[in-house]
Structure 1
Amino acid sequence: MEAISSGVDATGAVGALVLAIGQPSFPTVLIETLRAVADVGHCMVFAFADQRSARCLLSTGNIAIGPDLGTAYSEHFHTADPNREVIFRERAEQRHILLPHFARRMYPRGYRKLFFEDSEIVDKAATAIWAGDRCTYVNFYRTAAQGGFTGEQRQRITAVAPIVAAIVARHCQDGTAVATPGDKLAALFAAGGPLSVLTAREKDVCRRILEGFTSEAIAGDLGIALNSVFTYRKRAYEKLGIASQNELFAIALRLMTVSRPLN
């Protein structure tokens, strides 16, 4: 997956990630998506249920000692993470939490040595989301070979953080129903399905948006004019009561990740 160009809505890159929920390929799709959005080097995901324990759910990317870092954090270093205070302070709100910008001085010396010096992490961004009594804590890292996030890259991470956190939380939730991406989309757009209010062409356009197509690519794939793509998208959004691509992803995420298989 190539990096998205300047000016492209970063939320469009997460389509494949929605479709990968419950699939063995999810960690690979996750890091490829994050690289396309902001050239993220590594992603680690942790779960909190209380302030006494943490669990590493996922580690994917270019840090060779990622699994060791996950174990060390879960067993001890989570107590020294300054983000934990913010995470538990926001627990009652049950909403997405965008955590403070990274600053190495925020962390104690032992933490800095293991997580930043030994692993060559030079920058990070982080987000968290509470769902019931469990928090999913998602960390995005850049290594020395990459350098820190640029201002534009950090803006892109900020833009996709809420939807990425929700997707990762649902994937990591125990008992996630496994269905192929094609099955998931087919269920959404089938006759009598949740999006059956749309016309056939409106479904064609929305389905391709969820698959990560640009407007130009949709026009080429369907053999229609670009202005027609905009018209069908506008009509579909009006019928669904939404105004943005991000809201379409949110609808798809909610419908695709119910606890029962999509039949």
Structure 2
Amino acid sequence: MIDVWDAGLPAPREPGGLGRLACSIGTDTFPAAFLDCLQANVDAAHFSVIRVAARRPSLLFAGTQHRDRHLVYRCWDAYAAQYHQHDQLFERMRRLHQTGGREPVGRLSADDIAFLPYRRAIYTENGMSERLSSYCVDTDGTPVLLNLYRHHEQGPFSDLEIASFEALGPALVRLIGGHRALREAQRATDSRAVLRGIEPTLSDREVEVCARLLDGMTHAGIAADLGVKESTVKTYRNRAFDRLGIHFRSELFALCRR
């Protein structure tokens, strides 16, 4: 089953948690509030927000309720590197948008993915069964997708969850955009300036990695955000730590927050 439709119906109820999420934009509580908002409306194991540029998609935001905290990032790495060109759901949503659909919503069953390597690597090997997506475009017309994923043990998305997602998806994408813009501005005037003040010889990449470590991101998350391998992130971290004379993330926090 690969279904795509235009989200035009009103939500059956006011989406829960949206007000709290809006109030948390730009703060450290936003990721937790985002997951809470999702769980109040749609039971998803993982979520990702991706920007699908012409050459290669980029990951804007991701999170999980799963016991394997890195699964969503491993799947993203594989999707971006090898499988995004085989995403039938995205292509159908893009066509609907181009022919007049306002903000398409799509639903994909893993069993209906035609390209078997993509199905196996992302879905079968990880026990994922279904994906629900909301499609919109950013200010320059580039597609942005909010994706929710279910595992087999969770069962399919219910009609009520899908109806809630139709109303909630575009708002969530815009809130994420606002949050990222604020955090980038905060980091630009805070962490990066502090790091360069402490050690002016840090390279741009070393500063970017350290700033994200200070923001609480995992190595896998930083790799996805910067579009590099996790091993590359660790190399930049090690070089930066050597220049700063530290060995642990806790020392980085102590150095920059004093």
State the TM bucket, normalised to the shorter chain.
Answer: 0.5 to 0.7
**In the aligned structure 2, how far is the partner of 1:96 from the partner of 1:167?**
18
Out of 12, 18, 24, the position equivalent to 1:14 is 18
Deviation at 1:147, TM superposition (A): 1.6
| Pair 1:131 & 2:138 matched | yes
The letter of the residue matching 1:54 is P
Aligned in 2, Cα 1:85/1:35: closer, same or farther, shift over 3 Å?
Answer: same
Deviation at 1:49, TM superposition (A): 2.3
* Partner residue in 1 for 2:72: 66
* Partner residue in 2 for 1:103: 109
**In the aligned structure 2, how far is the partner of 1:117 from the partner of 1:144?**
10
Out of 48, 54, 57, the position equivalent to 1:54 is 57
Please give the secondary structure, in 1, of the residue aligned with 2:58.
Answer: strand
**In the aligned structure 1, how far is the partner of 2:102 from the partner of 2:131?**
18
* Partner residue in 2 for 1:77: 83
Deviation at 1:14, TM superposition (A): 1.0
Aligned in 2, Cα 1:177/1:91: closer, same or farther, shift over 3 Å?
Answer: farther
CA RMSD of aligned residues (A): 2.9
Cα pair 1:126 1:139 within 8 Å, conserved: yes
* Partner residue in 2 for 1:24: 28
**In the aligned structure 2, how far is the partner of 1:126 from the partner of 1:95?**
14
Query: Alpha-carbon deviations, 1:30-67, whole Å to 9, x = none?
Result: 121111112222111111222x2101222211342111
Mean Cα deviation higher: 31-40 or 84-93: 84-93
Aligned in 2, Cα 1:142/1:169: closer, same or farther, shift over 3 Å?
Answer: same
The letter of the residue matching 2:107 is H
Query: Alpha-carbon deviations, 1:122-157, whole Å to 9, x = none?
Result: 222101211222332110112223221122222222
The within-5 A match list for 1:135-146 is 135-146=143-154
* Partner residue in 1 for 2:129: 122
Please give the secondary structure, in 2, of the residue aligned with 1:11.
Answer: coil
Aligned in 2, Cα 1:29/1:93: closer, same or farther, shift over 3 Å?
Answer: farther
* Partner residue in 2 for 1:171: 179
**In the aligned structure 2, how far is the partner of 1:168 from the partner of 1:107?**
31
**In the aligned structure 2, how far is the partner of 1:121 from the partner of 1:160?**
23
Cα pair 2:17 2:33 within 8 Å, conserved: no
Cα pair 2:105 2:166 within 8 Å, conserved: no
The letter of the residue matching 2:83 is F
Aligned in 2, Cα 1:22/1:92: closer, same or farther, shift over 3 Å?
Answer: farther
**In the aligned structure 1, how far is the partner of 2:49 from the partner of 2:77?**
12
Gaps of 5+ in 2: 1-10, 187-258
**In the aligned structure 1, how far is the partner of 2:94 from the partner of 2:43?**
29
Aligned in 2, Cα 1:160/1:58: closer, same or farther, shift over 3 Å?
Answer: same
**In the aligned structure 1, how far is the partner of 2:65 from the partner of 2:180?**
21
Query: Alpha-carbon deviations, 1:12-38, whole Å to 9, x = none?
Result: 431112122222332222121111112
**In the aligned structure 1, how far is the partner of 2:97 from the partner of 2:185?**
26
Cα pair 1:28 1:60 within 8 Å, conserved: no
The TM-score normalised by the length of structure 1 is 0.57
- The aligned length equals 172
**In the aligned structure 2, how far is the partner of 1:82 from the partner of 1:174?**
33
